[in-house]
Structure 1
Amino acid sequence: MATLPSTAKAVIIGGGIIGCSTAYHLAKLGWTDTVLLERKKLTSGTTFHAAGLVGQLRSNANITQLLGYSVDLYNKIEEETGLGTGWKMNGGLRLACNQERWTEVKRQATTAHSFGLEMELLTPQEALDLWPLMDASDLVGAAFMPTDGQANPSDITQALAKGARMAGASIFEDTKVTDLEVEDGKVRAVITERGRIECEKVIVCAGQWTRSFAKRFGVNVPLVSMEHQYMVTEPMNVPGNLPTLRDPDRLCYYKEEVGGLVMGGYEPNPIPWAADGIPEGFHYTLLDSNFDHFEQIMEQALGRVPGLQTAGIKTLTNGPESFTPDGNFIIGEAPELRNFFVGAGFNAFGIASGGGAGMALAEWASKGEPPFDLWSADIRRFGRPHFDTDWVRTRTVEAYGKHYTMAWPYEEHDSGRPCRKSPLYDTLKAQGACFGEKLGWERPNWFADTSLGETPKDVYSFGRQNWFAANAREHRAAREAAILIDQTSFAKFTLKGSDALSALNWICAGNVDKPVGSLTYTQLLNDHGGIECDLTIGRVAHDEFYIVTGTGFATHDFDWISRNIPRGMNCQLFDVTSSYAVLSLMGPEARNILQQVTRDDVSNDAFKFGTIRTIGIAGCPVQALRITYVGELGWELHLPVEYAQTVYAALMQAGADHGLINAGYRTIESLRLEKGYRAWGSDIGPDHTPFEAGLGWAVKLNRNLDFKGRAAVEAQRSGGVKKMLAGFIVDPDTVLLGRETIYRNGKRVGWLSSGGFGHTVGKSIGLGYIRDPGGVTEEFILSGSYELEVATERVRTQVHMTPLYDPEMLRVKA
């Protein structure tokens, strides 16, 4: 057996497809002293029993790009290494058996077109011609993606392993990792049964073992094991070029294998596995076949493929796989431990993700950042509830059961709720609140008026949903009177210390060197000028700042700020989210209402926009931030949680004569779209710069101060940009949800990053980037003629570069 090296640049733990792909890509990047350690044999964890379907389309452009990279790699790895992979680009079919599913499929086809993928819509007969084994009598239509395919998981992993060795990486099987050495919050070495390896980076690709291993070192990886079954038939004259097939209305998938069929599915009542821990020595091991549980999938499949009734069953494979609470995989550097990277939780599409995920992990580890924005899969998207394995398992069972159910717009999870509650939860619930959930927090999405027969429960649809009228009511109140929104779930930090100002002025693109009592809306940029965070900072003392960001970004933004404080600076960052409730009072009557409950002067002269002051309300010291995300006069009122009920009651009582009503997050969304405010995670992110997003005004380039990302945005200011955010409006009958394709003068130039409805303008509104390799300017945008593709249909649209709604000018443009 080969001797382990004593040092390595990177050590990868886990020899499945993700680990081998990461080793392959690190070696290709020149990290030839990369070592991969597998406790048993390559593929012996879960890779060996994967079904091997490779689909590309996801709702996120960059995840789709990552999966497309896998296809490109699988097309060439066999020639590169000389090892067969079983890769066939035989295309993929997706069926629709009712009108709602057909709408979903058409919207998926538009998403594919937005991301540059070919996806064809087929009639039932055309689908039957491609897949003659099925009964197509109930089909409404189908979609076909010719570049999808299938692979043999073990073979493709061995090919990647050989490619890694050919590029200089070392792979050691039968080498169990027993411990890590950690020093000053960083990984220093890996300890194995065969010796110690000092290293710069550790990349854990240990599949369903990752959570328990990472937990030993304080790292949270929210995944659990679930049983997943598929059946393999005896040969039944299935043609070798048969496309893969997904039949979501029957919860089933199919692929050809040696003249037979592989058929599996995602049952609504999945079975978690190994709740008390994975058995010692579990490898190359399957679970007992559960024919009773699989019967529900089998019944659905027999209706689709009548030939299964007489086919012989070769095997019913039951293998545990790792799944996550939101159905997306987990990738990136752990916020809890420096130089500790994770690639795990692939929700039964690890083979489809393998090539791209390995590439992304390798880039991330070697260059300190991913190749593009991977927020939807980033390990930092999780928070406090995800430390509890029971909560993770409860939510993951629901996510697994929804794998093939309709992906409704605005759909909320039901499991594990309520978890984190504002002090006002019960009060708002009694007043008709319909809650959504973000990072465990219960947040009011909208309020039902029971006198109108409304029920506070979402009824999902691809058209206007049942809360549309409530949203309109709250929206109008914000524009004409006032609304009160419980935004307690905001993530809130304090940065204290003698160097707090210097640290923030390095991290922030905006200037925070302002007098005590000032607010700064700013972006935090990476070295390419991309927007890593989008937040508000209040200077509350000479050496103390109060930082507010979105609910879902608590872990991500805390991590970004803390890791970018320059070494040696004296300041400390604290998460104070749970200490403060937040009530946002917004609307033209907001000042009159606020003045009734406080003796402090809140006139415009005394309390200007962009400032923060402590005022008294009903015996409570309230930090009042004069700022808005809805385009109206208003304040965010931040107060200790024990005062929430008292202050809420005082405001509602004072507002009774001013038209004040409760409002929810869906109204924030419709209001901000009219005003053109950007949302991080959709309209802006690490792949977008301030000048591309129309936020150049918030960057301190006119001051002689260096800050992270300055060189990149300076170059853009002088050299121009190749994409720019614009707004779009269409007739109200057209429902915009995001990802609709943008056409300029008949040419595809981008897609919508956000979509919704503006009740003041009475139109559907979208935001999206217009792209052109020759450069994009405002004049270029306004000189074009535009269409949007919505569920494969082209509709005319108007473009705009300024807000549709401006309360100070009292104008509405439409």
Structure 2
Amino acid sequence: MTLGALPDRARAVVIGGGVSGCSVAYHLAQLGWSDVVLLERRQLTCGTTWHAAGLVGQLRGSQNMTRLARYSVELYRRLEAETGVATGLRQNGSISIALTRERAEELRRSLALARAFDIEGGEIDAAEVKRLYPHLETGDVVTAVHLPGDGQCDPANIAMALAKGARMKGARIEEGVKVTAVGQANGRVTGVTWERAGATGFIEAEVVVNCGGMWARDLGAASGVTIPLHACEHFYLITEPIEGLGQLPVLRVPDECAYYKEDSGKMMLGAFEPKAKPWGMAGIPEDFCFDQLPEDFEHFEPILEQGVRRMPLLATAGIHTFFNGPESFTPDDRYYLGEAPSLRGYWVAAGYNSIGIVSSGGAGYALAQWIDRGQPPFDLWEVDLRRAQPFQANRAYLKERVSETLGLLYADHFPYRQPATARGVRRSPLHEQLKARGAVFGETAGWERANWFAGPGQEPAYRYSWGRQNWFENARAEHLAVRQGVGLFDMSSFGKIRVEGRDACAFLERLCANRIDVEPGRLVYSQMLNEHGGIESDLTVSRLSETAFLLVVPGATLQRDLAWLRRHLGEGESAVITDVTAGEAVLCLMGPRAREVLAGCSPNDFSNESHPFGTWREIEIGWGLARAHRITYVGELGWELYVASDQAAHVFEALEAAGAEPGLTLCGLHVLDSCRLEKGFRHFGHDITDEDHVLEAGLGFAVKTDKGPFLGREAVLRKREAGLERQLVQFRLSDPEPLLYHNEPIVRDGRIVGILTSGAYGHWLGASVGMGWVPCAGESAAALLASSYEIDVAGRRVAAEASLKPFYDPEGARVRA
């Protein structure tokens, strides 16, 4: 190979030379992957990194995202000594100010979370804000939060330091090389085709990492990989030097959609305006390199006007730079990490939603660990690429949605807030019937789902708040109907996977912790585990015949679960895995009077003797047919009715007519959540994840180690021998007024020991309930429960009762009634 020529082979090829790509290359090299090549189409940092604002905020919305952000700060702190390249990291702190009571509640809840994550910080009043930021108008400040460990950095230099660090460990960094295609064969990547200065070639590789930033979507699409992101215009201005400005903390004024950063005596004012300007719908110009977008002062002017009122010195400061540059945003404001479900060896780190600098250090570390070990270092479902839905590759959808998601970064992060744009992509066959009856919809994985039902004369829309929202009493009525009478839920968004074939039973026995080899007509609740005993999937399996099974999973995890199944199907195993979600609607009839409703529209026998809990039967209903699964997620007598989509509307009408006398109530997803929390049922992605051991999650009853080998069995046996280190505990507040959502700190005997993974108001129990993990190494259950517990709700500690059994119907008698 001649000097300067590209290699013919590499263990990994990283595509993209922004801070994300440089971080992935650096961390792979740190793990001993010296055979790594990074290819940058133009020059390092020339896409988005070079013009990033460089804000470094350590506190994120979850423990693991905070862990990654804090890692980034530590990495950037040590990089200069390691590489000799200055990173410009300055931990001058940050201040976030609230101008409304609602924002004050949000900041106080975030500060409670900071305490749980051991991040230094405190609430400060307007006078203290003025002392720390003397140039600021503070007359309307309600409160503020100061985090001294936050700060700012030089994004381009951080990328250069990471690139140098990667080179020092043996990685190659090549500029001016465009990847034109990713090769693949038999469902795996084989390498990349490149071109440089008229020359072309191919690098064979077992791993390809797409760190292409705003180019990542189109690059992925060429390989059949869905990476839903879209660029938006991002605006900021930088003043001329201001005499006497002094060094200042980073300032965020989210109620004015603005952030401020002092750097070298100049002031930067940036914006995350409510309605953004998407860019690059027709593709990004081939020669884009360190480019700016056309100015649009009219678009930025409202932010500047508020900025001048907030910081009057801006009125006389000269403008040195008015900048407009593109950054990529995703439909849910969370970035993408992980391996593509459709192509082995194709990995992604992209879509950072304007927090790429503080995220990329940790993201590169986590992805490198994942690539190296074959599994993530901890739960990364929040940013896992497998959450992306195939339809989200639609560019018109993305353009519409990201016009909103940029602004959502600084919008009030109210509980239950729903996106307003690009709605209605996926609808149940019953959507219009529910809408006509007052349904107020939310969105999950693109599905429109009835979250609650408005009453006569009530506006069918959310009015958001941190307190009791406008649907609180509606939810109470729905909740009590399920507990005392009968409620009907449309759960057509359930993911439905059919697994069938000669080896289907043996395949599922190998993947599921519970016994799947049961007689046809039985339902099995189970988890699929990883080799550490962590929960990869929470599902029910219905045996349809000797060779066919139906797996029901949450709609949000369908793509993840399909990928897990397909990755573990052995070569030569005869089993077909099919997504059949759209083929059937699901109507969940739940409550003590459910039998009465069914008796009014079906001639079948629904007695315990004929149709016991945990079984399914084919039934006649109205003039149609359905498959009735006797199972529940709310803790009551009930059936999930699986109906062919073309018959769903008729069956719904038949149930409505039969339910007139028993008082059938239409119910939404908010009540499904509050009922399941009273009952202590776990929710995947919140309460249980792939880093949570199935026994510590309290799900050992669904694990059958005596059935023979299955993935995770040895980890279960080891945990039984060693004992539990932590447990998932249910909590009920003693005070009926405070509201729990999730992320509230758990205080045991005066010390924070964890956070709530989920929370809601328990209308039957008369107080908020939640669940969360509590350390318990070497303790008995009695000792764990003997402690005094409190939950920190926005800085106020509220006494709570703890339980390892459900507060509602702990013996499970109602579901078998």
Normalized against structure 1, the TM-score is what?
A: 0.98
Q: Measure the CA separation in 2 of the matches of 1:701 and 1:154.
A: 53
Q: Which residue of 2 aligns with 1:305?
A: 311
Deviations 1:788-810 (A, max 9, x none): 11101111111111111118777
Asked if residue 296 in structure 1 is aligned to residue 298 in structure 2, the reply is no
Which of 258, 262, 269 is the equivalent residue of 1:263?
269
Q: Which residue of 1 aligns with 2:700?
A: 696
Aligned residue identity for 2:631: I
Aligned residue identity for 2:793: V
Q: Measure the CA separation in 1 of the matches of 2:346 and 2:810.
A: 49
Which of 796, 805, 809 is the equivalent residue of 1:806?
809
Q: Secondary structure at the match of 1:537?
A: strand
Q: Measure the CA separation in 1 of the matches of 2:53 and 2:810.
A: 56
Deviations 1:156-197 (A, max 9, x none): 110011111111111111111111211001100111114211
Aligned residue identity for 1:427: Q
Q: Which residue of 1 aligns with 2:119?
A: 117
Q: Measure the CA separation in 1 of the matches of 2:572 and 2:44.
A: 44
Q: Secondary structure at the match of 1:528?
A: coil
Q: Measure the CA separation in 2 of the matches of 1:781 and 1:561.
A: 37
Equivalent positions of 1:163-562 (< 5 A) are 163-193=165-195, 194-237=200-243, 241-450=247-456, 453-562=457-566
Which of 681, 685, 696 is the equivalent residue of 1:681?
685
Asked if residue 66 in structure 1 is aligned to residue 72 in structure 2, the reply is no
TM-superposed CA distance for 1:312, in Å, is 1.2
Q: Measure the CA separation in 1 of the matches of 2:645 and 2:812.
A: 37
CA RMSD of aligned residues (A): 1.4
Aligned residue identity for 1:567: E
Q: Secondary structure at the match of 2:87?
A: coil
Q: 562-571 vs 335-344, which deviates more?
A: 562-571
Q: Which residue of 1 aligns with 2:793?
A: 790
Equivalent positions of 1:104-183 (< 5 A) are 104-183=106-185
Q: Measure the CA separation in 1 of the matches of 2:594 and 2:240.
A: 71
Q: Secondary structure at the match of 1:220?
A: coil
Q: 563-572 vs 682-691, which deviates more?
A: 563-572
| Contact 1:728/1:765 (<8 A) preserved | yes
TM-superposed CA distance for 1:2, in Å, is 1.7
Q: Measure the CA separation in 2 of the matches of 1:474 and 1:137.
A: 44
Deviations 1:694-713 (A, max 9, x none): 1111111233x111111112
Q: Which residue of 2 aligns with 1:715?
A: 718
Q: 382-391 vs 204-213, which deviates more?
A: 382-391
Q: Which residue of 2 aligns with 1:780?
A: 783
Q: Measure the CA separation in 2 of the matches of 1:289 and 1:596.
A: 66
Q: Measure the CA separation in 2 of the matches of 1:36 and 1:534.
A: 38
| Contact 1:95/1:141 (<8 A) preserved | yes
Which of 33, 36, 52 is the equivalent residue of 2:35?
33
Q: Measure the CA separation in 2 of the matches of 1:490 and 1:412.
A: 19
Aligned residue identity for 2:312: P
Q: Secondary structure at the match of 1:678?
A: coil
Q: Measure the CA separation in 1 of the matches of 2:727 and 2:243.
A: 53
Q: Measure the CA separation in 1 of the matches of 2:259 and 2:285.
A: 30
| Contact 1:492/1:576 (<8 A) preserved | yes
Q: Which residue of 2 aligns with 1:761?
A: 765
Aligned residue identity for 1:706: P
Aligned residue identity for 2:672: I
In structure 2, the CA distance between the partners of 1:127 and 1:569, relative to structure 1 (3 Å rule), is: same
Q: Measure the CA separation in 2 of the matches of 1:276 and 1:599.
A: 58
Q: Secondary structure at the match of 1:805?
A: coil
Q: Measure the CA separation in 1 of the matches of 2:246 and 2:295.
A: 27
Q: Measure the CA separation in 1 of the matches of 2:448 and 2:179.
A: 40
In structure 2, the CA distance between the partners of 1:238 and 1:647, relative to structure 1 (3 Å rule), is: farther
TM-superposed CA distance for 1:352, in Å, is 0.7
Q: Measure the CA separation in 1 of the matches of 2:509 and 2:279.
A: 49
Q: Measure the CA separation in 2 of the matches of 1:479 and 1:393.
A: 43
TM-superposed CA distance for 1:776, in Å, is 4.8
| Contact 2:226/2:390 (<8 A) preserved | no
Asked if residue 672 in structure 1 is aligned to residue 676 in structure 2, the reply is yes
Q: How many residues align?
A: 808
Aligned residue identity for 1:627: I
Q: Which residue of 1 aligns with 2:52?
A: 50
Q: 299-308 vs 618-627, which deviates more?
A: 618-627
Q: Which residue of 1 aligns with 2:628?
A: 624
Aligned residue identity for 1:493: I
TM-superposed CA distance for 1:596, in Å, is 2.6
Q: Measure the CA separation in 1 of the matches of 2:47 and 2:812.
A: 63
TM-superposed CA distance for 1:480, in Å, is 1.0
Q: Secondary structure at the match of 1:656?
A: coil
Equivalent positions of 1:644-663 (< 5 A) are 644-663=648-667
Aligned residue identity for 1:445: N
Percent identical pairs in the alignment equals 46
Gaps of 5+ in 2: none
Deviations 1:410-445 (A, max 9, x none): 111121122211111111111111111111111111
Aligned residue identity for 2:7: P
Deviations 1:260-308 (A, max 9, x none): 1111011122111111111111111111222221111111111111111
Deviations 1:747-799 (A, max 9, x none): 11111111111111111111111125x44542232121111111011111111
TM-superposed CA distance for 1:621, in Å, is 2.4
Aligned residue identity for 1:231: L
TM-superposed CA distance for 1:115, in Å, is 2.3
Q: Measure the CA separation in 2 of the matches of 1:524 and 1:810.
A: 27
Q: Which residue of 1 aligns with 2:639?
A: 635
